[in-house]
Amino acid sequence: MRADRHSRWGTALGLLTALALAPACKQYRVADTDGSSEGKDAVAVGGSTGGGGTQGTGGTAGVTGAGGSNGGMGGSGVGGSGAGGKADAGVDGPSDGSANNCVERNFPGHANPITAIVFAPDGKSLASSDNGGVVRIWNLSNGGVVTQLVQPGHPIKAMDYSRDGSLLAVLWYDTAASLPSDPGAQNIDIWRTSDWTSTRTLDGRYGWAVKFAPDGHLVAAPSAAGSASVWDVTNGTMRSVSDPSDIGAAFAMAVSRDGRFIVTVGGDFKVSRWTFAGMLLGATLSHQSASIMAVDISPDATTIATAGMIANQLELWNMSDGSYIKTLNGKRADGVAFLPDGKSLAVVATGDVKTIRIADGAVTSYATDCGGIAVSPDGTLIASSLADLSIQTWCVR
pLDDT digit string, tens, across residues 320-356: 999 999 998 777 888 999 999 999 999 998 888 999 9
**pTM, entire model:** 0.74
pLDDT at 256: 94
Residues 150, 28 share a domain = no
Domain ranges, residue 40: 22-101
- Whether residue 106 lies inside any domain: the answer is no
Residues 329, 221 share a domain = yes
pLDDT digit string, tens, across residues 58-100: 333 334 333 333 333 333 333 333 333 333 343 333 334 444 5
pLDDT at 178: 65
Average pLDDT over residues 263-281: 85
Residues 163, 293 share a domain = yes
Last residue of a domain, one of 66, 101, 136: 101
- Whether residue 157 lies inside any domain: the answer is yes
pLDDT at 277: 80
- Whether residue 7 lies inside any domain: the answer is no
Residues 248, 285 share a domain = yes
Residues 28, 154 share a domain = no
Average confidence score pLDDT of the chain: 75
Residues 155, 26 share a domain = no
Give how many domains the chain has, as a whole number: 2
306 vs 229 pLDDT, higher one: 306
Residues 160, 79 share a domain = no
Residues 320, 373 share a domain = yes
- Whether residue 296 lies inside any domain: the answer is yes
- Whether residue 11 lies inside any domain: the answer is no
pLDDT at 69: 34
- Whether residue 1 lies inside any domain: the answer is no
Residues 155, 232 share a domain = yes
Last residue of a domain, one of 71, 101, 131: 101
Residues 118, 80 share a domain = no
Last residue of a domain, one of 53, 81, 101: 101
Q: How far apart are CA 33 and CA 351, in angstroms?
A: 27
Residues 254, 178 share a domain = yes
Radius of gyration for the alpha carbons in the chain, expressed in angstroms and rounded: 23
Q: How many CB atoms lie within 10 A of CB 5?
A: 15
pLDDT digit string, tens, across residues 133-187: 999 999 999 999 999 999 888 899 899 999 999 999 999 988 777 666 676 678 8
Per residue in 42-55, is it b (16+ CB within 10 Å) or e — as a string?
bbbbbbbebbbbbb
Band (227; pLDDT cuts 50, 70, 90) = low
